[in-house]
Amino acid sequence: MIELSDVSRYYRRGTDEIHALDHVSARIGEGRFVAFMGPSGSGKSTLLHLVAGIDRPTSGAVAVAGQQLNDLSDDQLARWRAAHVGLIFQFYNLIPVFSARNNVALPLLLTHFPKAERARRAETALRIVGLGERMEHQPRALSGGERQRVAIARAIVTDPTLIVADEPTGDLDARNAEEILALLRQLKNEFGKTVVMVTHDLRAVRFVDEVFHLDKGVLLSGRDAQRATDAIRVAAGDGLGAGS
């Protein structure tokens, strides 16, 4: 599904060159739920933006579902992203004056579907995430966990190839965080979605198929990666959560 081939992403900050990602190569199979973990500034969000077609690498190649993203123009990349990627954010990014149904239907405005079909698809997505009874509620009338479920429904309403989630549990308490991780796992198991998540939440290790570890823009491998995963499993088993 996803192949990163010797990918680097550098930024200029004044006279300095910042290496956000440095020669990263990885493969993620179709229908997998994976997490990229590492300290702040390790390049996790940069990598997620490259996979989602939000950013471009300085060098190397990114391919998703057989499509070489490097080959696409900006307009083509925007159309590809709208058709194939569902985005989930830490702080939901919901429109306060819209109902849950209308928030979920927003991505469908870029499609050819008539209004009634957009509403039907939004309702179906909300039922999938367990909010069939909360469709007309505005975000202020929903809990944090429910708002994130609305955001997940919005991400899946176009039936995307790939779901990318940037710290989806970062603003949630422990119970809601586990429910959201279980829901993402459900999307993978029941609907065959490929889910790529960036997180600091140690609980994630119990839900994902694989953890990738980044440190200062470098993807750990071999014994270093295994030691990092083992340490997370021990910490998660001790009841530690997000931010620990």
Domain CATH for 88: 3.40.50.300
Does some domain include residue 167? yes
Does some domain include residue 202? yes
Return d(Cα 102, Cα 123) in angstroms, integer. 9
Does some domain include residue 95? yes
pLDDT at 240 over 80: no
Return d(Cα 43, Cα 57) in angstroms, integer. 12
Cβ(146)–Cβ(134) below 8 Å: yes
The per-residue pLDDT for range 43-85, each reduced to its tens digit, is: 999 999 999 999 999 999 999 988 999 999 999 999 999 889 9
3-state DSSP assignment of residue 113: coil
Does some domain include residue 244? no
pLDDT range class, residue 238, cuts 50, 70, 90: low
Does some domain include residue 243? no
Report which of 134, 223, 130 is spatially closest to residue 179, judged by C-alpha positions: 130
pLDDT at 243 over 60: no
Does some domain include residue 191? yes
pLDDT at 237 over 90: no
Q: What share of the chain is helix, strand, coil (3-state, %, to 5)?
A: 40, 25, 35
Does some domain include residue 30? yes
Average pLDDT over residues 101-106: 95
Burial of 24-34, coded b for 16+ CB within 10 Å and e otherwise, reads bebebeeebbb
Q: Pick the residue with more confidence: 67 or 236? A: 67
Using DSSP bridges, classify how beta strands 85-88 and 67-68 pair: parallel, antiparallel or unpaired.
unpaired
Average pLDDT over residues 88-113: 91
pLDDT at 242 over 60: no
Does some domain include residue 145? yes
Q: How many domains does the chain have?
A: 1
Mean pLDDT score of the chain: 91
C-beta neighbour count of 99 within 10 angstroms:
18
Residue 95, domain extent: 2-237
Cβ(36)–Cβ(225) below 8 Å: no
The per-residue pLDDT for range 33-54, each reduced to its tens digit, is: 999 999 888 999 999 999 999 9
